[in-house]
Each structure stands twice: as C-alpha cells, then as structure tokens.
Amino acid sequence: MSIKVLKNYQTIWKIVKNRYPRPIQDMLILGLVLMIHTLLSVAVPYILKEIVDQSHTTNVVTFDQLFTWKNLYILATAYALGWLLMNVLNHAANFLSARLMTKFKIALLHGGVKQFFEATFAEQKKIELGVYQTDILRGADSFGTITYVILFVLVPILFQILSMVWVLAHAIELAYALYFMLFAVITFALNIYFTAKGNDIFTAMYNA
C-alpha cells in the first residue's frame, strides 16, 4: 500500500514539475525562511535567559549597570528588532506557503485539463466534468497539504525540538533535556496517531 502511495505521489510530482518551472527553488526558499524563524524562536528566549543570568552575576555586570537608561534603550531596540524580524519572517513564510500551494494547484489543474482534452471523444463522454473537476481539486489540495506538512511542518517541529534540547542541555542539564525530548516525541507521536484515527473516521463517514 505504501509503495502504491509513493508511486502515485511520484507521478503527481512529475506532473507538477512539467507545469511548475522551479518548485525546488521555491521550496528551498520557504524552508530557509522557516529555519531562520525557528532558530530565532529558540535563540531569543535563550539569549534573554543569559542576560538575566548575567544581571545577577556581579563579576560580569551589576544590576545598576545593566538597567541604565542607555542599556534599556538598547534592550528595547533589540527586542523590537527581534519581534519585527520574526513577524516579517512569519508573514513571508505565509506568503510563500500560499504561493507554493497555489502553484501546485494550478499545475495539477493544467495537467488534468490537458489529459481530458487528449482523451478520445468516447472517453470524454464517459467522464462527468463536475466529478472530474472535483477530483482534480481534491487531489491538488491533498498533494499540496501532504508536501507542506511533511517538509514545512513536521521537519521544522523536529528541528525546533532538537534545538531546544541543545539549549536545555547547555543551560540546565542534559538529563532534563533528554526528558524533555522524550516527552516531546511521545506528544508528537500521539498527535499523529489521533490525527490519523480522526481521518480514518472521517473517511468512513464520508464513504458511508
């Protein structure tokens, strides 16, 4: 069953590549934006923790020295720039995601229309256009969703978990980081399991 699914996915991917000039390039750009956003979401709390830790260490910097008006302006500016950068990256990722999904759908619609017109007249008469169009749209949505979730949701989540484990191992303790990773993996697996079960129930209700 899994081999058949992979073959179907590969076939659809070939159709997409024929109608979509540079899918890999756009996917790499989106992946880079999401990776930078993920790194910032992990690094900013760690940096803030280091600042707080240093503020309590007299041999590094005193409380009065840290919270002078000049330093407060610097910290506020740095926080504002970080917040702005993360929001810009978030909006850029949303735009690139929508653009990628739309191009997937357009490519598959174009391929479906071409396949319909390349069929013989007798074969065209057997096809219900409404059902045919609905199947193409559902297939395009499914292909885009599967591709996006695997590459741009699951992979960033795993990358973020590993990054947080690294931060926790350096900031607190390795054992705590390993416990966190174990809990995150179990939660992640349960979410996938319940999502798959929910889809099976929905499919059974839809086919009933």
pLDDT in tens, 114-157: 888 888 878 877 878 777 888 888 888 888 888 888 888 888 88
- Residue 65 pLDDT > 50: yes
**Regarding predicted confidence, which is higher, 203 or 106?**
106
Q: Where are the domains of the chain?
A: 2-153
CA-to-CA distance for 41 and 39, rounded, in angstroms?
5
Q: What is the pLDDT of residue 1?
A: 47
Whole-structure pTM value: 0.71
Share of the chain above pLDDT 70, in %: 78
Query: Which long-range contacts (C-beta less than 8 Å, at least 24 apart) are formed by 38-42?
Result: 38/156, 38/159, 38/160, 38/163, 39/163, 40/82, 40/85, 40/86, 40/89, 41/86, 41/160, 42/160, 42/163, 42/164, 42/167
Q: What is the pLDDT of residue 46?
A: 73
